[in-house]
Amino acid sequence: MTGNDEIRDLLPTLQADCEKCFGLCCVALPFAASADFAVNKEAGQPCQNLQADFRCGVHNRLRQLGFRGCTVYDCFGAGQKVSQQTFGGRDWRKFPETAKKMFEVLPVMRQLHELLWYLSEALTLQPARLIHGQIRSALEETLRLTDLDADALLKVDAAAHRAKVNELLLKTSELVRDEARSRHKGAPSKQKYGRGADLIGAKLKKADLRCANLRGAYLIAADLREADLRAADLIGADFRDADLSGADLTGSIFLTQAQLNAAKGDARTKLPPSLERPAHWS
Alpha-carbon distance 237 to 216, whole Å? 4
Query: Using an 8 Å Cβ cutoff, are 78 and 13 in contact?
Result: no
Calpha distance 69→50 (Å, rounded): 15
Backbone angles phi, psi at 253, to 5 degrees: -120, 140
Domain with CATH 2.160.20.80 in the chain: 188-282
> pLDDT truncated to tens, each residue of the chain (282 aa)?
455 667 778 988 999 999 999 999 999 999 999 999 999 999 999 999 999 999 999 999 999 999 999 999 999 999 999 999 999 999 999 999 999 999 999 999 999 999 999 999 999 999 999 999 999 999 999 999 999 999 999 999 999 999 999 999 999 999 999 999 988 777 775 556 777 899 999 999 999 999 999 999 999 999 999 999 999 999 999 999 999 999 999 999 999 999 999 999 999 999 999 899 999 997
Thinking of the domain 188-282, which architecture would CATH place it in? 3 Solenoid (2.160)
Residues 6 or more apart in contact with residue 269 via CB below 8 angstroms: 244, 245, 246, 247, 249, 277, 281
